[in-house]
Amino acid sequence: MVNKFVYAFEEGDKDQKDLLGGKGANLAEMTRLGLPVPPGFIITTEACRYYLQHGRIPDSLRVQVTMALRRLEDVTGRRLGDAVDPLLVSVRSGAKFSMPGMMDTVLNVGLNDFSVEGLVEASGSERFAWDSYRRLIQMFGKTVLEVDGEAFAQALDDAKEAKGVTSDVELDADDLKGLVETFKAIVEKHTGRGFPQDPREQLDLATEAIFHSWNSDRARLYRRRERIPDDLGTAVNVVTMVFGNLDDRSGTGVCFTRDPATGKTGSYGDYLVNAQGEDVVAGIRNTLSLDDFKKVDPDSHKELRRIMRRLETHYRDLCDIEFTVEKGKLYILQTRVGKRTAAAAFRIATQLVDEQLITMNEALDRVSGEQLALLMFPQFDKSADREVLTRGMAASPGAAVGAVVFDSATAVAWKARGEDVILVRKETNPDDLEGMIAAAGILTSRGGKTSHAAVVARGMGKTAVCGAEQLVVDVTAKEARAGEVTLREGDVISIDGSTGEVFAEALPVVPSPVVQYLEEGIDAAVADADKDTAELVRAVDRLLGHADTVRRMEVRANADTATDADRARRMGAQGIGLCRTEHMFLGPRRELIERVVLADTPDARSAALDALLPLQRDDFVELLTAMDGLPTTIRLLDPPLHEFLPDRAELMVKVALAEERGEDVEHDRKLLAAVNRLHEENPMLGLRGVRLGLTVPGLFALQVRAIAEATAIRLEAGGHPHPEIMVPLVGSLMELHLVGDETEGIVEEVSEAEGVTMSIPIGTMIELPRAALTAFRIAEVAQFFSFGTNDLTQTTWGFSRDDVEAAFFADYLKKGIFTVSPFESLDRDGVGRLVRIAVEDGRRTRPDLTLGICGEHGGDPESIHFFHDVGLDYVSCSPFRVPIARLEAGRAVAEAGEETSISA
């Protein structure tokens, strides 16, 4: 049996994206719905795969295309190459996933020296027909025959110069006839043969060229980055040409079934009379709104509205539609589920529930934690007058206003005197780090979402717009030009990291209504809000509420102080998953730890530790009060000790200079000796965590005692404290044994002394590969595991998080070695495999083992789904990410397909 390589639109449907590609499947679907799609057919991805494997198209494809063409001629009543009313087709690639780097489109296939006369006849415009022919030769020559495009551009310029005009539209039919001859000569010169006059040959060559382009360098690189398999192949769509630029009863447009910007109901779109698609994009003339379109062409408008309703009901989502009117006849050229803003996503999802089109679970699947995060940033006041200066990539969200500076030093200096600045650079490199830290926002003219600026800004949580290509930055002259406007050092601008917009003025920033809702509740948030905002807040509330109902995983917060803990509770945290006790020793208490470290006798060390006890105890009393009734995981001291000591290199300089000047250096020299003793080449791999606890006598004991005493105080006050003690950086059972034995002893001692009963679970971070690999043993002692995925990522990959700011990391993103930083989103293949091993082995040893995660991945949507799948009990993240984690933990269940009732 011969494979079916060609499908008429009538033969496919939207679920056949594997075989027909995304574009083709949607064209087929619309055809099946009876919508006015120009007739056409699809050459399947299977044909492409055959071509890629054998280096030639399958034999039977030729016959199948012949039959499909004959059918097309029958349906349209036109013939390819006809000298009266010729059939013209577009030939477009269409893979399962949208994929830049492949050959895209050849229009007007079917034109030749004869049929161009037919098009003159049929269109009634000689200039139109010859311009169409000229475009075919140029596009075909360039993309299919691989003629250097420069040659055509040069010839076009020559023609304009000869006539003394500057614009293409000033060339008349005769000029274009001449140009066609010139273009044909160019093709002949570069390929050794004439431009193919046979329409069928044009089609076949275009098809092969599209197949061939699947393996272009750019396409391969793109696939590697996006992890798209190399063997999918692309389909080819052959569609009858329709023309929106034939007369004033023709035109072309784009519309949405709801407002993709705000989510408001009602249709939105643009229409351009007597124009083709590319004219809309070029923005030469003003477009009409759909309401104006109705006045111009009420019949077509009415039909379009009908089709929009039909498609939305059918796709059960916002649709984005391209259409063309040819001499009063409406054609739908393409449709897809439309992109939308974060606010629109939430509103549309709940609207569709209310319209009984989708279930609450489906609605949950239509929004994302990333969108919720965008809604939580402060925003520019949309009601303010504003004009976009230029646009770039929305590289790191937020709204930043500040004075333009062009170098790091100025950024630091101006910031120091209290001024907000926006650092503007062509692109950034590690030398700009200090300036980036000082700046309120970062704007670059080059590089995309994976550029150094973008990666570092996201790592810092700093607003950034990158790759604003229309901006010409001249760092030496300290100015940046965008069209007519020149920005100079000190000029105030506003950048929107959520949209990529840049404004040449200070825009007012308003706080996020979603944050107000989270902080103060729904009533406060909708009280003074406008209708759109109120609807948005209600949508967020409904979807978050539904997520809370369905999710299996708990959400805790990482919080080190009572203030953080209060915020975390308001954000919906169900406990603290990580309290970093080292944060209690920053600032003025730093020297207390320094005393412990520098103590040169056991007595001196004991004294230094004793001084810490009441402070630590008070810290924990406050924390346990704030988290009353909820689990509170306290991690014993983790970071390298030298973090509490002066910088070694600076101290060396200080001592050397003081010696040179003959000053007294005794104290500093002693300090330096201690610092040298504790110096490590790789502190991240050094004396940290449990190693510290086992090496510095009394250190962990002090902390455990403070926790136990604080618990006793809270119990005596009638509270419900639930502390859990977490040991960091454990690599082997023995370490936990030793700390565990000591901890149990102290807790018992305090219990007896205070006459209270308390049980404090002891668990460990799993943040070293060895801990994960030997989880089956560690679980003998640990009552809970908390995955420290930051450190686990560091050691599994063997690079430190500081490298995120280093040059090679940006390089790696650019080269596609990472699609996203593994510190942002969990690396499932590597780190994730360790997590899975530890979960399975740990539970085998101790079936009631509690499993959580407290690395930054706890607030990352992608990662949360993984943690759900792998069976963790909770995720813990920073307080502001808690709502995002709640939503995503719910989505993880919804996506698994458990059905809930159609409305909620």
Is 110 marked as a binding-site residue? no
Between 199 and 731, name the residue whose CB sits nearer to its own copies.
731
Which among 231, 214, 255 is positioned nearest to 104, based on CA atoms? 214
Which of 798, 847, 848, 901 touches its own copies by CB under 8 A?
798
Residue 646 near its own copies by CB under 8 A? no
Minimum distance between the CB of residue 738 and its own copies, rounded to whole angstroms? Answer: 6
Which among 400, 462, 473 is positioned nearest to 435, based on CA atoms? 462
Minimum distance between the CB of residue 228 and its own copies, rounded to whole angstroms? Answer: 14
Residue 36 near its own copies by CB under 8 A? no
**Residues between 668 and 687 that touch its own copies (CB under 8 A):** 677, 680-687
Instruction: Catalogue the E-assigned strands of 515-583.
Output: 554-558, 576-580
Minimum distance between the CB of residue 401 and its own copies, rounded to whole angstroms? Answer: 31
Between 228 and 738, name the residue whose CB sits nearer to its own copies.
738
Contact 738, 694 (CB under 8 A): yes
- The stretch near its own copies (CB under 8 A) out of 67-75, 98-106, 814-822, 875-883 is 814-822
Fill in the per-residue mask, 690 to 719: x = in contact with its own copies (CB under 8 A), - = not in contact.
-x--xx------------------------
Residue 67 near its own copies by CB under 8 A? no
The half-sphere exposure of 668 on its side-chain side, counting CA atoms within 13 A, is 17
CA distance 337 to 339: 7
Is 635 marked as a binding-site residue? yes
Contact 87, 110 (CB under 8 A): yes
Minimum distance between the CB of residue 888 and its own copies, rounded to whole angstroms? Answer: 25
Contact 588, 595 (CB under 8 A): no
Residue reference for tokens 């003959």: 662
Max CA distance (Å), the chain: 106
Contact 594, 519 (CB under 8 A): no
Residue reference for tokens 């040169």: 600
Strand partners, 494: 401, 503
CA distance 149 to 131: 17
The half-sphere exposure of 375 on its side-chain side, counting CA atoms within 13 A, is 29
Minimum distance between the CB of residue 472 and its own copies, rounded to whole angstroms? Answer: 23
Is 94 marked as a binding-site residue? no
Minimum distance between the CB of residue 684 and its own copies, rounded to whole angstroms? Answer: 4
Between 224 and 294, name the residue whose CB sits nearer to its own copies.
224
- CA 64 to chain CA centroid, nearest Å: 42
Residue 245 near its own copies by CB under 8 A? no
Choose, from 579, 854, 865, 868, the residue flagged as catalytic.
854
Between 431 and 899, name the residue whose CB sits nearer to its own copies.
431
Between 384 and 817, name the residue whose CB sits nearer to its own copies.
817
Which of 300, 390, 796, 876 touches its own copies by CB under 8 A?
796
Say whether 854 is catalytic. yes
Minimum distance between the CB of residue 876 and its own copies, rounded to whole angstroms? Answer: 21
Residue 889 near its own copies by CB under 8 A? no
Say whether 452 is catalytic. yes
Residues in the interface with its own copies (CB under 8 A) total: 62
CA distance 533 to 264: 11
Between 541 and 735, name the residue whose CB sits nearer to its own copies.
735
Which of 160, 294, 426, 777 touches its own copies by CB under 8 A?
777
CA distance 586 to 590: 5
**C-alpha distances in angstroms, 665 versus 331, 348, 676?**
86, 70, 16
Residue 281 near its own copies by CB under 8 A? no
Choose, from 452, 546, 642, 722, the residue flagged as catalytic.
452
- The stretch near its own copies (CB under 8 A) out of 592-600, 625-633, 770-778, 858-866 is 770-778
Residue 66 near its own copies by CB under 8 A? no
Residue 354 near its own copies by CB under 8 A? no
Residue 586 near its own copies by CB under 8 A? no
483 phi/psi in degrees, rounded to 5: 60, -125
Which of 126, 791, 856, 860 touches its own copies by CB under 8 A?
791
Residue 97 near its own copies by CB under 8 A? no
**Residues between 431 and 490 that touch its own copies (CB under 8 A):** 431
Residue 408 near its own copies by CB under 8 A? no
Minimum distance between the CB of residue 813 and its own copies, rounded to whole angstroms? Answer: 11
Which of 101, 448, 545, 830 touches its own copies by CB under 8 A?
830
Is 791 marked as a binding-site residue? yes
Which of 112, 794, 821, 878 touches its own copies by CB under 8 A?
794
Assign 3-state DSSP to the chain and report helix, strand, coil percentages, each to 5: 50, 15, 30
CA distance 844 to 480: 62
DSSP assignment letter at 144: I
CA distance 879 to 877: 6
- The stretch near its own copies (CB under 8 A) out of 48-56, 584-592, 629-637, 656-664 is 656-664
Is 429 marked as a binding-site residue? no
Which of 436, 768, 782, 864 touches its own copies by CB under 8 A?
768
The one-letter code for the residue type at 533 is T
Minimum distance between the CB of residue 808 and its own copies, rounded to whole angstroms? Answer: 5
Between 3 and 695, name the residue whose CB sits nearer to its own copies.
695
**C-alpha distances in angstroms, 569 versus 371, 626, 715, 857, 864?**
22, 9, 21, 20, 20
Between 693 and 879, name the residue whose CB sits nearer to its own copies.
693
Length of the chain: 904
Residue 665 near its own copies by CB under 8 A? no
The half-sphere exposure of 835 on its side-chain side, counting CA atoms within 13 A, is 30
Minimum distance between the CB of residue 510 and its own copies, rounded to whole angstroms? Answer: 39
Contact 892, 869 (CB under 8 A): yes
- Helix, coil or strand: residue 755: coil
**Residues between 716 and 735 that touch its own copies (CB under 8 A):** 729, 731-732, 734-735
Q: Which residues of 863-876 are buried (b: 16+ CB within 10 A; e: fewer)?
A: bbbbbbebebbbbb
**C-alpha distances in angstroms, 238 versus 37, 68, 241, 513, 603?**
12, 10, 9, 48, 87
- The stretch near its own copies (CB under 8 A) out of 22-30, 78-86, 790-798, 844-852 is 790-798
**What is the gyration radius of the CA atoms in the chain, in angstroms?**
33
Residue 871 near its own copies by CB under 8 A? no
Helices (H), 717-825: 733-754, 769-773, 775-778, 789-797, 807-814
DSSP assignment letter at 658: H
What's the CA dihedral at 430, 431, 433, 436 to 10 degrees? Answer: -120
Minimum distance between the CB of residue 217 and its own copies, rounded to whole angstroms? Answer: 11
Residue 222 near its own copies by CB under 8 A? no
Between 653 and 902, name the residue whose CB sits nearer to its own copies.
653
Which of 149, 194, 298, 430 touches its own copies by CB under 8 A?
430
Which of 124, 815, 840, 896 touches its own copies by CB under 8 A?
815
Contact 390, 470 (CB under 8 A): yes
**C-alpha distances in angstroms, 149 versus 49, 187, 302, 587, 703?**
29, 10, 42, 63, 72
Residue 230 near its own copies by CB under 8 A? no
Q: Which residues are annotated as a binding site?
A: 580, 635, 767, 788-791
Q: Which residues are annotated as a binding site for Mg(2+)?
A: 767, 791
Contacting residues toward its own copies, per CB under 8 A: 224, 430-431, 648-650, 652-653, 656-657, 660-661, 677, 680-687, 691, 694-695, 729, 731-732, 734-735, 737-738, 767-770, 773-774, 777, 791, 794-800, 802-803, 806-808, 811-812, 815-817, 827, 829-831, 833-834
The catalytic residues are 452, 854
